[in-house]
Amino acid sequence: IVHATINGMAIEAEENETILHAARRYGIYIPTLCELDDIDHTPGTCRVCLVEFQLPGAASPKLATSCNTPVVEGMTVQTRSPRARESQRLQVELLLADHDQDCATCVRHGNCELQDVAQFVGLRENRFYDPKFIEEREIDDSSPAMIRDMTKCIRCQRCIAICRDGQGVDALVQVGIGQDKAVGLKYGLSQKESTCVTCGQCVLVCPTGALGERDETDKVLEMIYDPEIVTVFQFAPAVRVAFGEEFGLPPGANVQGQIITALKRIGADIVLDTNFAADLVIMEESAELLKRLGAGKRPTFTSCCPAWINFAEIHYPQILPYLSSTKSPMQSMGVICKTYLPEKMGIDPKKIRTIAIMPCTAKKDEASRKQLELEGMAEIDVVLTTRELARLLRREGINLAKLEPSGFDNPYASEFSGAGAIFGTTGGVMEAAVRTMYYVANGTEYDRIEFEQLRGFEGVRSATVDMGGKIGVVKVAMCHGLKPARAIVEQVLAGQADFDFIEIMACPGGCVDGGGNLRSKKAYMPNALKRRATLYNVDRAQKVRQSHNNEQIQALYRDFLEKPYSDKAHHLLHTMYND
């Protein structure tokens, strides 16, 4: 333990603890932009955290960056002295000298760490800005999912760190020198050509608008205001528990009903639930899995997470034969909206536009896949991330927190079981599948509904489930985050993994912390567990908790698909991958 003072307050710090870290523990704010404690990232590149310090016996105080200077016995630190303030302000002014100045048009406007810090240091003029400084910077819009705008990069390197150390993808590198320094994709490739899987985790840690989703809110408004078009919205399991925060509601609040009201208010014709399609996917995936097990093919990987599919295609094409062919719930719902629904409702499918609200950037990529078209029509016309939905509601003057909840009113594709609801968290797809596989294999319900052994939060978890009868014990694994996914794929390829079924979600936590979700400032995944707890509560509160007992799903098979894995179901609800 070492003793020091910060702004006159006596403090105790651990050996080698930085000034920034100790100050934070005592509630003393020091502005920073590059540092992110949640991912243990202190590159010391932004230099905004300058403070004055003086050691015992030293003649005069000195300046230091507090993120990488340890507290020393007897040190006195001033974070708010005139020299510290002036130095912090100068650093922010220098960062803004080569930063695009058009904040009003930025996707991050109003929720930007750079704006916050500029306010904190009292920046009122920007003496050094010159548009020439950013003329040569790259704006990469090659990906259907994400935009990388280097005119807004402050070189904090958080994106490089999360992609390399968090996700193990390692697609990003620092490029350029001096003033041209920025972040690029490895080997000078564009985002589309690169090894990036569009998981969007880098967007969640970017302090500015340098990384973001492709904004498609205008496209949706055009569809809504076209009298010829019938808009069919769906929203993902995780969206309802992650969205309220944007409007000041507590983390994990379930705003399903308010989202339905909001979508109706902006002019949605029909609002459906992706949870319904999650139940449908369980029916198809369970049938497929039992067939594969019967044929001795193991393991099978889940296929609902599009960043995982991208990862498998780009990084491990040898693993593709092990992926389930079942389309994701989002795409399956798209198919239902352009086949069964128009048949039932008497609408011309060509007039339908399907809009999916997802906590995910990679879903935009998925929707643009050629093999996910139905006779020339896209199954999903537009994907909006949760962030874009917030933007859209603001543009329409809607405050979600003030809305009364309402219910889905479509009789064909909006009911869901508890199993469909838990898709949004790591382990949820596996648990939902187990509930149904048992029934399909044995013709009776499992005597348990909740499977604690599938529910932890470690990167890779494994468990065994006794399915009884013909199947016996099934060995499963659940994995969230791409770094653990890489490890398990390598084990499988090396013949060292003994699993029947493996669930993979590319984002740590699963969709509740998807890369299309709302951005937190100076925090990474702060509300994961609260969002997750609400999903389990939604499951517990549902009268029907197994996908096969969802009456709308039963009607869909009776009236249209015949049975799980029938020729028709296979044609409509299964896909192929790009090797």
List, as own/partner pairs, every contact residues 169-173 make where C-beta atoms lie below 8 angstroms and the sequence separation is at least 24, other chains included: 169/195, 169/196, 169/197, 169/199, 169/311, 169/315, 169/482, 170/195, 171/195, 171/196, 171/197, 172/196, 172/202
360 binds, among ligand HC1, ligand SF4, none (CB under 5 to 8 A by kind): ligand HC1
Which structure tokens are listed for 517?
């979700």
At 128, is the secondary structure helix, strand, or coil? Answer: coil
Angle ∠(245,247,250) on CA atoms, nearest 5: 40
336 near ligand SF4, rule: CB under 6 A: no
423, 438, 499, 524: residue in contact with ligand HC1 (rule CB under 6 A): 423
Stretch that binds ligand SF4, among 51-59, 167-175, 527-535, 546-554 (CB under 6 A): 167-175
**305 contacts which partner out of ligand HC1, ligand SF4, none, CB within 5 to 8 A by kind?**
ligand HC1
**Binder among 144, 334, 418, 424 for ligand HC1 (CB under 6 A):** 424
Instruction: Tell me the closest approach of the beta carbon of residue 332 to ligand HC1, in angstroms.
Output: 8
Q: Which of the choices ligand HC1, ligand SF4, none does residue 424 contact, using the CB cut-off of 5 to 8 A by kind?
A: ligand HC1
Among 4, 28, 154, 171, binds ligand SF4 (CB under 6 A): 171
The site for ligand SF4, by CB under 6 A, has a size of 13
505 interacts with ligand SF4 by CB under 6 A: no
DSSP class of residue 249 equals P
What is the closest distance, in whole angstroms, from the C-beta atom of residue 181 to ligand SF4 in the complex?
18
Q: Of residues 166, 184, 209, 329, which one binds ligand HC1 by CB under 6 A? A: 329
For the chain, counts of helices (H) and of strands (E): 20, 20
| CA 404, 410, 414, 416 torsion-angle sign | positive
Q: Which string of x and - marks every residue 503-532 that binds ligand HC1 (by CB under 6 A)?
A: --x----xx--x------------------
Distances (CA, A) of 40 to 21, 557, 559: 11, 50, 54
Output 202 or 392, the one with its CB closest to ligand SF4.
202
Q: Is 512 in the site for ligand SF4 (CB under 6 A)?
A: no
Which among 338-346, 357-365, 434-442, 546-554 is the span making contact with ligand HC1, rule CB under 6 A? 357-365
Q: What are phi and psi of 231, to 5 degrees?
A: -90, 130
Report the residue number, 30 or 330, with the smaller CB distance to ligand HC1: 330
* CB-nearer residue toward ligand SF4: 98 or 365: 365
Minimum distance, C-beta of residue 553 to ligand HC1, in the bound complex (Å): 13
**Binding site partner of 162, from ligand SF4, ligand HC1, none, Cβ cut-off 5-8 A by kind:** ligand SF4
The answer to whether 389 touches 517, Cβ cutoff 8 Å, is no
Cβ atoms of 482 and 506 within 8 Å: the answer is yes
Binding of ligand SF4 by 358 (CB under 6 A): no
- Position of tokens 């507590």? 250
Which of 112, 162, 238, 392 binds ligand SF4 (CB under 6 A)? It is 162
Q: Is 246 exposed, middle or buried (0-12, 13-18, 19+ CB in 10 A)?
A: buried
Q: Does 169 bind ligand SF4 (CB under 6 A)?
A: yes
Q: What type of residue sits at position 346?
A: G
**What burial class does residue 311 get, using C-beta atoms within 10 Å of its C-beta: 0-12 exposed, 13-18 middle, 19+ buried?**
buried
Q: Can you tell me the distance from the alpha carbon of 450 to that of 448, in angstroms, rounded to the nearest whole number?
A: 6
Closest to ligand SF4 by CB, 20 vs 360, is 360
Contact partner at residue 418 from ligand HC1, ligand SF4, none, CB < 5 to 8 Å by partner kind? none
Please enumerate in sequence order all residues whose Cβ is within 8 A of that of 484, keeping only pairs 6 or more positions apart, or say none: 459, 460
| Residue 143 binds to ligand SF4 (criterion: CB under 6 A) | no
Question: What tokens does 424 get?
Answer: 């949004």
Contact indicator for 173, 150 with CB cutoff of 8 Å? no
The residues binding ligand SF4 (CB under 6 A) are 162-163, 167, 169, 171-172, 196-202
The residues binding ligand HC1 (CB under 6 A) are 236-238, 274, 278, 304-305, 328-330, 358-360, 363, 423-424, 505, 510-511, 514
